[in-house]
Amino acid sequence: MIGLTDIEKRFGDNLVLKGVSVSLDEGSVTALVGPSGGGKSTLLRCINLLEIPTSGSLRIGSETLEFRPGGKVPAKDIQRIRLQTGMVFQNFQLFPHRTAIENVMEGLVTVLKWPEQRARTRALELLEKVGMAHKADAWPATLSGGQQQRVAIARALAPSPRVLLCDEPTSALDPELAQEVVDVLGQLAHEGTTMVMATHDLRLASKIAQEVVFLDAGAIVEKGPAAIVFDNPQRERTRRFIASLRQEAQGGAGGEKSKASS
Amino acid sequence: MEEGFVPHWLQLMLESLPTLLWAALIFTVPLTLLSFALGLVAGLITALIRLFGPKPLVMLVRFYVWIFRGTPLLVQLFLIFYGLPSAGILLDAFPAALIGFTLNIGAYTSEIIRAVIGSVPKGQWEASYSIGMTWSQAMRRTILPQAGRVAVPPLSNTFISLVKDTSLAAAITVPEMFQAAQRIVATTYEPLILYIEAAALYLALSSVLSALQARLEVRLNRYGGFLEANA
């Protein structure tokens, strides 16, 4: 189980998360939705400690960390948490100087000290899972955005994390390429991968997520099963936001064009 | 050799060539390679301190860079070789030159290294951390290899300057290639011919380095550079 309790995050005077508590079951998929600047990404980044929460506590499996303002978190603890989380970034962030398979092997070889051959075998399995085995030896720069993101998903899964964190995994992609990524994430969800994703992509969220957390201005407005939050939101704020996402999605395929002409 | 068959200037060049090449081989080339290698290490350490070090150390290395970039190399060499003995530090000519060039190269390359480390997108650090890397693993495996590619052209500039600047060591009695030429001039009174020959040899050395630079760039560019730049 993954639990966030009373997480606060402050950047200078700016309180970005105002005491957020969420708990996620093993095997569940949770979508964090909400307007930009609402704190989705920050919350996600607090789970793998790319941002250290100002206060609150974080539990992943049997590991628990408490945060205090001004307190320093030991590097060992940070690394223990990070090894139990995998992260997929909006703009992929593959290592450009390593081939697709080397990207996936990197954590296994450098961090977990696996022997090269074992890491290669594992990496190839993962590339197969995301449908990228045929591009194992390609440089990232030669791959499409969707392909890069699929390799990035394999890289994040390599150390068998307890939870896969996805920060807007499809928003840098056009709809067609986004679909490849949605399909891969859907398949992972189906296999029981625990996931948390910050997303604007209604297609992604409604297809994969069982749970939805709606964040606005650093606080949870509403959370619950995806079917309820998406189809019958209880709060006016959520209703307005979901309606605006729907509208955008209906603009759909011709979205770019209609924006240009309007 | 018979008069008129080989022109005098060519004959003089051919006769002095082994002496000049020998001086290049045992002084110019080692001085260049050693001081560049040590200077790179000094530059890397300096750059890392400037980027990540504690404030007092940052002040110290900024002072170092300020002094060594702001004073003439020839004056630095004179200070080390002729000046330091007055303070009780007596150095042979070659070590004195090596120290001077190393410190000078360290100051210049630290600025290059600082800039190229900063040019690697921040997301690359985050991606490295996200797979569990420590700071030093991220630096070694992700940041420096990418920064290295960008650093090749400016570092090559510094390297090529250094090959030529080693001729300044002649002024502190290091018998490197230019000093060998000067000595031959002293006995033959043919400065034009000998100095043209020395210049040609320096040109040859730096041309080799330029060619190596080009090959290195091709090799380092094979993956296409930062991804965001082509997006």
Query: Within a domain: residue B150?
Result: yes
Q: Does B146 touch chain A (CB under 8 A)?
A: yes
CB contact under 8 A, B130 and A82: yes
pLDDT at residue A260, rounded to an integer? 38
Residue B230 has pLDDT above 70, yes or no: no
Mean pLDDT of B156-169: 95
* Whole-angstrom distance, CA of residue A143 vs CA of residue B230: 11
- Could you tell me which residues of chain A have a Cβ less than 8 Å from any Cβ in chain B? 48, 50, 75, 79, 82-83, 85-87, 89, 91-98, 106-107, 110-112, 139-142, 145, 148, 155-156, 158-159
Domain count within chain A? 1
Rounded distance between C-alpha atoms, residue A61 and residue A1, angstroms = 5
Phi, psi for B190 (deg, rounded to 5): -125, 65
Q: Whole-model pTM?
A: 0.87
Between strands A2-11 and A14-24, the pairing is: antiparallel
Task: Evaluate whether residue B48 is within a structural domain.
Answer: yes
Residues of chain A neighbouring B128 (CB-CB closer than 8 A): 95
Residue A187 clears pLDDT 70, i.e. is over it: yes
Please tell me the number of Cα atoms within 13 Å of B58 on its side-chain side.
8
Owner of token pair 């090529």: B160
B136-144: Cβ within 8 A, 24+ apart: B137/A110, B137/A111, B141/A106, B141/A110, B142/A95, B143/B117, B144/B117
CB-based contact A107:B131 (threshold 8 Å): yes
Write down the number of H helices and E strands in chain B. 11, 0
Tell me how many domains chain B contains.
Answer: 1
Mean pLDDT throughout A9-33?
Answer: 92
pLDDT score of B203 more than 90: yes
Sort A202 into a burial class: Cβ within 10 Å, 0-12 / 13-18 / 19+. Answer: middle
Residue B52 placed within a domain: yes
Q: What is the pLDDT of residue B228?
A: 65
- Counted across chains A and B, CB pairs separated by less than 8 A come out at 81
Tokens of A18: 């105002």
Give the pLDDT confidence score for residue A168 in this predicted structure.
Answer: 93
Is residue B229 situated within a structural domain? no
Nearest Cα to Cα of residue B166 among B214, B210, B201: B201
Q: Which one of A48, A106, A163, A166 makes the best mutation probe of the B interface by having the most chain B beta carbons within 10 Å?
A: A106
- Report if residue B3 sits inside a domain: no
Residue B88: give its domain's CATH number.
1.10.3720.10
Over residues A34-46, the mean pLDDT reads 91
What pLDDT does B82 receive? 96
Would residue A127 count as lying in a domain?
yes
Does B75 map to a domain?
yes
Q: If you average pLDDT over residues B61-86, what whole number do you get?
A: 96
Percent over 90 (pLDDT), chain B: 91
Specify the pLDDT at position B204. 96
State chain A's mean pLDDT as an integer.
Answer: 90
Could A110 and B133 be called an inter-chain contact, meaning their C-beta atoms sit closer than 8 Å?
yes
Residue A168 counted as domain residue: no
| Cross-chain residue pair B226–A96, CB shorter than 8 Å | yes
Nearest CA in chain A to B133: A111
Chain A CA closest to residue B226: A96
pLDDT at residue B93, rounded to an integer: 95
**CB burial of residue B72 (10 Å; 0-12, 13-18, 19+):** exposed
Taking 80 as the threshold, does the pLDDT of residue B100 lie above it? yes
A85 contacts in chain B (CB < 8 Å): 130
- Evaluate whether residue A201 is within a structural domain: no
Report the pLDDT value the prediction gives residue A237, as an integer from 0 to 100.
Answer: 87
Q: How far is it, in rounded angstroms, from Cα A7 to Cα A47? A: 10
Q: Give residue-wise pLDDT tens across range A120-176.
A: 999 999 999 999 999 999 999 999 999 999 999 999 999 999 999 999 999 999 988
B95 falls within a domain: yes
Q: Which comes out higher in pLDDT, residue A252 or B195?
A: B195
Domain membership flag for residue B1: no
Report d(CA A234, CA A231) in Å as an integer: 10
pLDDT of residue A37: 85
Q: What's the average model confidence in pLDDT over B119-146?
A: 96
Q: Average pLDDT in the B78-98 region?
A: 95
**Residues A211-262: tens digit of each pLDDT:** 999 999 999 999 989 888 888 888 888 888 888 888 877 765 444 433 333 3
Instruction: Name the residue with higher pLDDT: B230 or B88.
Output: B88
Rounded Cα distance between B201 and B24, Å, is 9
A95-111 pLDDT, tens digit per residue, is 999 999 999 999 999 99
Determine the pLDDT at residue B3.
56
Q: Which domain holds residue B112?
A: 8-224
Mean of the per-residue pLDDT values for chain B? 93
Q: Look up the domain containing A147 and give its range.
A: 94-160
Q: pLDDT higher for A228 or B208?
A: B208
